[in-house]
Amino acid sequence: MINRDSSRTARSISVLIVDDHPLFRDGLQKALELEDDLVVVGTCDDGERALIAARTLRPDVVLLDINLPGINGLQVSRQLKTERPGIAVVVLTAYHDSQQVLHAMRAGASAYCVKDITPERLVEIIHDATLGFYTVGNERMDARALEHWMSANVEAIAGGYGPDSNEHFVPLSPREMEILQFVTHGLSNKEIATRLRISQQTVKNHMTSILKKLNVQDSTQAAVTALRHGWVRLQDNWHS
């Protein structure tokens, strides 16, 4: 158990764990339950259940993987922050690169952590998140510092595309993510239009937006990017 100074709040912090790997999820729960002021109120293995559980249990903090069945962690984070701006989302993922971190923070995460983090460090980050601080790696930031950090990283990664640079790093909309999932499964624009009951031109318009946001040249590159980052999964089931 981790010793803390007396300045810590005595109020219990409720935590919801969202991860589709049972061994990691159970181990994380056991580690957090060693803390006197952390209470794991629930666990989930996919994005849809996470949204339902968060609405019912109203946790203070959600520990969230990005690569989830159904809707991915970025979509879950954005929806959670839309519904409850005060909730803290701590992303725990095996995948790490600068673009992924930026996507997560722009989707409303309070922290971005890789899964080999120590329990002690994770507990510190959970507490910081409930106090309104943001964490990326070893950097702890307040809201103003985070804004500067995101601006600097957008410029560095986008390479100075101009006024629309931020658009490359805005998480895809739910409809765009749905279309990208179909693309990843090999469906044509016509087939996607039929599935979604929209026009082919509307699908093309969405694809143009997707390519711009992901800064890629074609749908194949978009699909590869989505798979590599865990935003979509080939094993997800699709209804005809």
pLDDT tens digit string along 102-116? 888 888 999 999 999
Highest mean pLDDT among 37-41, 73-77, 193-197: 37-41
Q: What is the 3-state secondary structure (H, E, C) of 84-121?
A: CCCCEEEEEECCCCHHHHHHHHHCCCCEEEECCCCHHH
121 vs 72, more confident: 121
Q: Please give the order of strands across the beta sheet that includes 139-141.
A: 38-44, 13-18, 61-64, 88-93, 111-114, 134-136, 139-141
Query: Would you state the pLDDT for residue 204?
Result: 93
> What is the pTM assigned to this prediction?
0.71
d(CA 98, CA 77): 18
Per-residue pLDDT band at 25 (split at 50, 70, 90): very high
Per-residue pLDDT band at 237 (split at 50, 70, 90): low
| Domains by residue range for the chain, with CATH | 13-150 (3.40.50.2300), 172-229 (1.10.10.10)
In the block, tokens 């019912």 appear at: 56
Q: In the predicted model, is pLDDT for residue 45 greater than 70?
A: yes
Q: Give Dmax (Cα) for the chain.
A: 62
Q: In the predicted model, is pLDDT for residue 208 greater than 70?
A: yes
Contact 155, 126 (CB under 8 A): no
In the block, tokens 């409850």 appear at: 84
Contact 155, 147 (CB under 8 A): no
- The two beta strands, 61-64 and 13-18, are parallel
